[in-house]
Structure 1
Amino acid sequence: MILSIESSCDDSSLALTRLADCKLLFHTKLSQDSHHSPFGGVVPEIASRLHAENLPLLLSKLTDFLRTLTPSAPLSPLKAIVIANRPGLSVTLSEGMCMANALALSLNLPLICLNHLKGHIYSLFIDTPHAHISGGLGVLLVSGGHTQILHMRDYEHITLVAQSLDDSFGESFDKVAKMLSLGYPGGPIVESYAAKHSGALLPMPIPLLRDKRLSFSFSGLKNAVRLEILKAQGITENGAQSIVEGGALEELRAQICASFQEAACAHILNKLRIYFERYGAHFTHFGVVGGASANAFLRAKIESLCHEFDKRLILAPLEFCADNAAMIGRLACEAYARRDFSPLNDTISPKSLAEDFLRDCGVGI
């Protein structure tokens, strides 16, 4: 079995995966949401310190599990140590890398360094020994740091088709929640407020609506939310206090959240429609991954689109949408089979490396 470590942002996670059949044997995770919520987003220094505290605690739990299998030598079944060393926050990636190096060196095991985003793709295949989809797999990755369309033929052929020009889908939810003083993480909070609203929506721009490029952008939509909030504050300053106090304030928040979510998801769907029309002949399945893929409104819209284009939709289990070590372990099964080992090092990267994804978006996608 292999031990995988995830510390790319604000979730500390360890997992054990059996190499023979890619079965997830053990998974543990500690979230930092309550620590970052007062600040409306992740504070890197706090995240780094908490990883330093949490990772040893998780390793102790993992060792206790292994002790039930091999009491005298609990770590002896391990065949490799796996770490997601890119992309992410440098100060948090470093914490995971320190643990990975220490374990690999002390146990004399190979080290496998992997791309965290590829791990999200493999969240679709946790507990599944066969990850290859012969007809091709299109993927939407939506998280706090990334919004991408990826195309996968197999482990070695993953093409980056489109990505955001500025904010990510998940980041925009966090920032809208912060502007409305709703807390962090913003994704589930904004979604829950949006579900409360059933009336008229505020006019929100759908980004890049007439632009046929496969790119995403959320900064303009985020600014439109800011302007709506300023408009409400302006009314308050003119004396109409009831509009943004008490129940009216909650109604306004719900209306803004619903309007924003509708426009953000419409933007995603518009770009996916272009991708389906342009490259639909090259894939039979479509997956949605990443922390923000837990959004039920977005999932329902994409399900309808897949039905329209006769594509089979596959989704990661909700517990494995956000960052986790289980998906890194599943990806590592493929790397281990290819002996794709890494030298002991402290190399981390806040961005994906150029060689991580293919860039050819032509017919040979």
Structure 2
Amino acid sequence: MNVLGIETSCDETGVALISDRDGLLAHRLYSQTDLHAVYGGVVPELASRDHVRRLLPLVRAVLDEAGMRGGELDAIAYTGGPGLLGALLTGAAVARSLAWGWGVPALPVHHLEGHLLAPMLEGEFEFPFLVLLVSGGHTQLIHARALGDYELLGESIDDAAGEAFDKTAKLLGLGYPGGPALARLAADGQADVLRLPRPMLDRPGLDMSFSGLKTAVLTAVRKGGHAPADVARAFEEAVSETLVEKTRRALKQSRAPALVVAGGVAANATLRAGLERMARESGVPVHFPRAEFCTDNGAMIALAGLRRLQTGRAAEAVDDAGTPVIHARARWPLAELTG
């Protein structure tokens, strides 16, 4: 069974081909970082237009690398949401068109399900598990009982952790994307020079908040007396310790036998080290994607489509007459998925 995956939810164009027999056969990723850097953030219209330019050449490159023709595919999986609507529609339209031409189904995949399955690209493991999904758009703790059976245990009530990284980097005068730039700067900072708040750790529950940390950073910068690297390190440590402690509580509450960490911020070395240490203390294995599959990519979408095909839970989006249609939703709660 061969599945082509297409990811266009935001500012990365990802295409990959996966096989149930041979695993990941080929993948390509084009990042729009340089395109959006001049604006200090993603411009949705420019993102959509760039996906139009990049998609078909990437599809050809992936098929050529795998030595496969479109007619040999069993399905095309594409990101149906959540994300930027124009970007989603671009990928969905290309996927649906190719599927019609090649006579295969086009399957809309939930972007977050793709992320939480991404560590399986490194090796198989079984449900259930706890997921810490931490990215620029989402920070959530999810009890994944089975494919399509997801319970949201807690989330950020304001900024996602990745969003807070980017905004704090902007306060410090760093470039776009801010998260990686802040992490590089933090590596040169001194420990215990500045301590920032650990939001919502003094109250029960698994929800999180990161917007106040930006205010704390702004206050520290205005007061002066701290090197930017020290401020960056204090911020990174505050976010990481908050995420680690909330995840520890979620493991205890859910009694999940394993931990999965996914999303762009999962590549952060400080957070990874803290979560690995906490997982050892809790006696559970922890699974991460490799760094290139932490951010948005086509491989995770192809894998999610393959898993749903294998379990008989894949379905095309159709209208009332049963005709296949394009599926794209800017907002699509993970809880609405079914097994």
TM class by shorter-chain length? over 0.9
The CA distance in 2 between the partners of 1:106 and 1:357, in whole Å, is 28
* Structure 2 gap segments, 5+ residues each: 319-323
Deviations 1:151-180 (A, max 9, x none): 112213222211110100111111111111
Letter of the structure 2 residue corresponding to residue 94 of structure 1: L
The residue that corresponds to 1:319 in the other structure is 292
Counterparts in 2 of 1:48 and 1:339: CA distance versus 1, 3 Å: same
1:144-159 matches, within 5 Å, as 144-159=136-151
Deviation, structure 1 residue 91: 1.4
| 1:186 Cα deviation after fit | 1.5
Residue 59 (structure 1) aligned with residue 59 (structure 2): yes
**In structure 2, C-alpha distance between the alignment counterparts of 1:93 and 1:190, rounded to whole Å:** 29
Name the CA distance, whole Å, in 2 between partners of 1:300 and 1:168: 20
- Partner in structure 2 of residue 267 of structure 1: 242
- 1:65 deviates by 2.7
Equivalent positions of 1:342-361 (< 5 A) are 342=316, 343=318, 344-353=324-333, 355-356=335-336
8 A Cα contact 1:38 1:183, kept in partner: no
TM-score (norm 2): 0.92
Look at both structures and tell me which one has the larger radius of gyration over its CA atoms. 1
1:193 aligns with 2:181: no
| Distance of 1:34 and 1:357 partners within structure 2 | 34
How far does residue 352 in structure 1 lie from its aligned partner after superposition? 2.1
Question: Residue 86 of structure 2 aligns with which residue?
Answer: 91
Q: Match of 2:321?
A: none
Alignment partner of 1:340 is 2:314: yes
Is 1:308 matched with 2:288?
no
Q: Structure 2 counterpart of 1:297, which letter?
A: T
Gaps of 5+ in 1: 233-242, 244-250, 359-365
Indicate which of 228, 242, 247 corresponds to 1:253. Answer: 228
- Aligned residue pairs total 330
Whole-angstrom distance in 2 between the partners of 1:79 and 1:357: 22
Distance in 2 (alpha carbons) for counterparts of 1:181 and 1:92: 29
**Aligned mates of 2:204, 2:90 — CA distance in 1:** 41
Quick check: 193-202 or 301-310, which moved more?
Answer: 193-202
1:118-169 deviation per Cα after TM superposition (whole angstroms, max 9, x unaligned): 10111111164x4523xx2111111110001111122132222111101001
> In structure 1, how many angstroms separate the alpha carbons of the residues matched to 2:204 and 2:191?
31
How much has 1:279 moved relative to structure 2? Answer: 2.3
* Partner deviation per Cα, 1:223-271 (whole Å, 9 max, x = no partner): 1112222333xxxxxxxxxx7xxxxxxx721011011111111211221
Amino acid at match of 1:7: T
The separation in 1 between residues aligned to 2:254 and 2:139, in whole angstroms, is 18
Cα distance between partner residues in 1 of 2:231 and 2:170: 13
Identity %: 35
CA contact 1:112–1:335 (8 Å) conserved in 2: no
Distance 1:257 1:90, change over 3 A: same
Measure, in 2, the Cα distance between the counterparts of 1:259 and 1:127.
32
Corresponding position: 1:285 with 2:285: no
Quick one: which amino acid aligns to residue 149 of structure 1? L
Question: How many angstroms apart in 2 are the aligned matches of 1:57 and 1:98?
Answer: 15
TM-score (norm 1): 0.86
Whichever residue aligns with residue 130 of structure 2, its letter is G
When the two chains are superposed, the root-mean-square deviation of aligned CA atoms in Å is 1.8
Matched letter for residue 38 of structure 1: V
Q: Is the 8 A contact 2:143 2:254 kept in 1?
A: no
Alignment of 1:135-150 (within 5 A): 136-150=128-142
Give the match's secondary structure for 1:76. helix
Which residue is 1:122 aligned to? 117
Compare 169-178 and 344-353 and name the one that shifted more: 344-353
Q: Deviations over 1:323-358 (max 9, x none)?
A: 001011111111112152213323311222464358
Matched, 1:172 2:145: no
One-letter amino acid of the structure 2 residue matched with residue 89 of structure 1? L
Tell me which moved more, 288-297 or 150-159: 150-159
Give the match for residue 236 of structure 1.
none
CA distance in 1, matches of 2:120, 2:334: 25
CA distance in structure 2 between the partners assigned to 1:61 and 1:271 by the alignment: 42
